[in-house]
Amino acid sequence: MTIHKEGRRILFVLLIVLILINFIFKSANIPEAILFFSYLTSSIFYILILQFFRDPAIKINENPKYVLAPADGKVVVIEETEETEYLHERRIQISIFMSPLNVHVNRNPVGGIVKHIKYHAGKYLVAWHPKSSTENERTTIVYELANGLQILTRQIAGAVARRIKYYIAENDQVAQGAEFGFIKFGSRVDVFLPLDAEVKVKVNQKAQGGKTVLAELK
């Protein structure tokens, strides 16, 4: 288990701030009970932020027929919808909600060439809001498989998540399950699949990024 690069500076600054706060409290000779409470809450808060930025090592079993979960979290949407930004066709949408307790590393659901990336500034509706996919801050990524099939993935900011990061570029050749981005604090990732894909998950099922098979392609 390592700490993700997106969290190292935040964790260092937070540690210094908490140490200073508790040092001031101790120097002020406040009652021991209050000092103990300050130590306890500071420790719990720091551990919560620390676990948010954890980056566990996982083994990826690549399979060109599978679409893997791009993030840890809970499957909240499985429905047929019109993808209007890039594909302009009916697709099966699978959405994974990432709570602040989940690992927030985002992984390529498939391997292939990155054909399209576009960042959109936007609102910060709660991640499960029906309009968050089209109105929130988001990044759209389109992968093209060796057979020409395209899979669209969308990182979506939520009411708390206000920083979307991605580390790939158009025309990159990427591996299935490899990290492509990170979203800070609770959010959502959508995947748009062909209508003939065989969905392997159910609503409310927990998914693990790079491990859980969302669907099998025809």
Q: Which is the catalytic residue, given 42, 95, 133, 187?
A: 187
- Write the DSSP string, the chain: -EE-HHHHHHHHHHHHHHHHHHHHHHHTT--HHHHHHHHHHHHHHHHHHHHHTEE--------TTEEE-SSSEEEEEEEEEEETTTT-EEEEEEEEEE-TTS--EEE-SS-EEEEEEEEE--B---TTSTTHHHHBSEEEEEEE-TTS-EEEEEEEE-SS---EEE---TT-EE-TT-EEEEESSSEEEEEEE-TT-EE---TT-EE-TTTSEEEE--
Asked about 27 being catalytic, the answer comes back as no
Residues with active-site annotation: 187
